[in-house]
Structure formats: structure tokens, C-alpha cells
Amino acid sequence: MHRCKRLLASIIGLALIAGTAACEGSQVKETTEAISSIGKVSLSSKKAIALARQKYDTLSSEDKQKVSNAGTLKKASRRYEGLIKEQRCVKNLIDAFDKKNSVMEETTGSAQNWAKRTLQAVSDEKETLSNHDASEFVDASFREFLKSYDSSLQSQQDGLGRYPDDADAYNSKFIDSGLKIQNKLITEEAKEYALVTLEQTSQQFLGKDSLSKAVKIDTSKGQVEVTVEGFAIRPEDTVALQQFGEAGDDQECGYLLLIVKNISHPVSDDYSGHIRFDEIGTISDEEGVQRTSSDSSLKYPGYECGGGAAFGVYPESDVQIGETKRISIPYVVNKSTNTVRVQMNDDSFLILPVGR
């Protein structure tokens, strides 16, 4: 009888041991599977990593040794921490980028002041970037992003430092190797790290053509120097002109963007005393139809209003002797228009793509 009891106890003990081993084996398997399910680490991996970590931490020291992909969990945790750090860095860069966009939109009073304020905004971006040492980041591709971003900011500084006198430097430095590259980088990183940026402002700015050479024109009111910066559409102003009855459903509001400087003769307060763009040149569409400027007070971001194609009619659009200002002249063009021709009165001309 006693022998039977001992045998039964042994059987029960063995069953308990087997059950415990099976349970422990099941926990190891669940932990291994939980780690495998993490997959490629992203910002949405937080819950998967936390679940795997929880399962792993409940294992005994002996069972932890049995988890074949324990190293993957450690790597995933480190990568997620790195992503959070990278996201914080990109968020700071976007904040500085958006502030610069706001500066670029401001009405300026003079082209030099616009460049000075924009240059300060770029310097602020450089300072923000310097607060994030590239060596702090493990991911090589992110370090490369920071390097490219810094290079784009340096190009912007170089180009703005020679604006508006050196058109080539402005085009190659501020626009091509500067703002265009930065805009591409920041847009990609914002998407990668689930962030939002106001890149529309710089996209609109890049919608205009590159800076052209300055042209000196003699008018009845004195000599004036004009540099054409481009022709760009602004959709929200198209809606406004349509509401005013100045534009049809198949038309858009576009702006001829100019730098005006070195006026040699002061203009009077009387409307007839102001220099008009038609004394400098004309603008026509692809069909050769000469376009007439809208007399509205609309203006392109970062430029003064040249409504009616007159300088000085609207506030801050007057150009005094020795001043340099950025003027936008509103025109109504057909939506099918892809280029416009700017014919200067010195017989030179430009074919500008319509920036949309």
C-alpha cells in the first residue's frame, strides 16, 4: 500500500515537473515569437517592443538564455530610442524652417532688408542644427541627412550674402544648392517621422523662375534698374480675382516678380508721377496677347504690391532714389498658359515658365 502511494506521488511529481517544463517552454516560445513580430523598427513599434520586453523580463535567468533572438530585442529597443531622438531633432529643424518661411513671406520695404532678415533666419536654422551633434546619432543615413542639411543652409547663406546684386550666386547658391535641397530634405524627413511642416511657403517661393540679370531702362521719369525674378501663380488670389469679377473660371492670378532699384528721379505723390511697368516693358502670353495688370491690392508673399503695374500707388511699393525693393505685379492669365514673354523696352526679353 505504501509502495503504491510512493509510486503515485512520484508520478504526480513527474507530471508537475513536465507541466512546469512545458509551461516554461511555452513562455520561451511566446517571447521568441513576440520579438520576431517586432519586424523593422519604426515609430509605431513602441507597443510591440514593450510587449516583447514584458514577456522577456518575466522569464527566469535560465530561460532568458534560451531566447535565441534576445539580441534582436536589445537592438530594437536601442533603434526605437534612436528614432525618438531623431524625430525630436527633425521637429526642431522643422520649427526653424517654418519660422524662416514666415520671414520670407513678410512684406519687406526693401530687397536688402528682406535678404538680411532671411539670412538671420538661416543663421537661426544653423544654430538649431548645431545643437544636435551628428555623432550623437547611431544611424548612418540620419548623420548623412544632417550633413546634407547643413550644406544646404551654408549655400543659402552664401547666396543671400550677395543678393540682389549677384544673380548667378543667388540662383546657384540660395536657390539650386540651397533652398531646393533643403525643401526636399525637410519634406522627406517630415514624412519619415510623422511630422508636419509648412513647406508650402518655400514651394511657392521656388515656383518662380531664377533671378535674371539686371536691366537698366530710361523712362520719362528717370532711369530705373529692373531684375525679373519670375512669374508665379497664387491659387488663393485666383479665387479673389474671380470673386471680384476680374478673372473667369479658366483663368488664374499670376504675378510678375521684380527687383526694382536705382531710380534716378524721385516720383511724385500724384498717380501720373509714378513709374509704370509699361514704361519699362510689357508681358504677353504664348499666343502673343499682351496682358494687362490687375488694379487690385493683391501681392505675392515677400513682395510689395504693384497693382495697376505702378510703383508707389500702394503702401510701401514706392521706390526712392538709392532704394531696392521687391515688387509683385498681379496679372490675369489663362490656365493653359505655361510661359510668358517679358519684353523690355531696351529690346531684351525673357521667356519665363509659369510657376504653379
- With beta carbons less than 8 A apart as the criterion, state whether 219 and 262 touch: no
At residue 134, the pLDDT reads 85
Residue 326 — left, alpha, or beta (φ > 0 → left; ψ -120 to 50 → alpha)?
beta
Instruction: Classify 322 as helix, strand or coil.
Output: coil
CB contact set of 98 (below 8 Å; sequence gap of 6+): 197, 198
At residue 15, the pLDDT reads 46
Tens-of-pLDDT digits for all 356 residues of the chain?
555 555 555 554 544 454 555 555 688 888 888 888 888 887 888 888 888 888 888 888 888 888 888 888 888 888 888 888 999 999 999 999 989 988 887 765 667 778 888 999 999 999 999 999 888 888 999 999 999 999 999 999 998 888 877 777 888 898 889 988 998 999 899 888 888 776 555 555 555 445 566 777 777 777 778 888 888 888 888 888 888 777 778 888 888 888 887 676 665 555 456 777 777 888 887 777 778 777 778 888 888 777 777 776 666 667 777 778 888 888 888 888 887 878 777 777 777 777 77
| Rounded distance between C-alpha atoms, residue 178 and residue 268, angstroms | 40
**What grid cell was written down for 40?**
523593422
| Rounded distance between C-alpha atoms, residue 32 and residue 75, angstroms | 14
- With beta carbons less than 8 A apart as the criterion, state whether 261 and 164 touch: yes
Task: Answer positive or negative: Cα dihedral of 150, 151, 153, 154.
Answer: positive
| Rounded distance between C-alpha atoms, residue 27 and residue 57, angstroms | 11
CB contact set of 137 (below 8 Å; sequence gap of 6+): 82, 85, 86, 89, 143, 146
Q: Please provide the DSSP assignment of 28-76 as one string.
A: HHHHHHHHHTT-S--TT-HHHHHHHHHHHHTS-HHHHTT-TTHHHHHHH
CA angle centred on 308, ends 305 and 314, rounded to 5°: 40
At residue 82, the pLDDT reads 85
| Rounded distance between C-alpha atoms, residue 326 and residue 172, angstroms | 20
Neighbours of 282 (CB within 10 A): 16
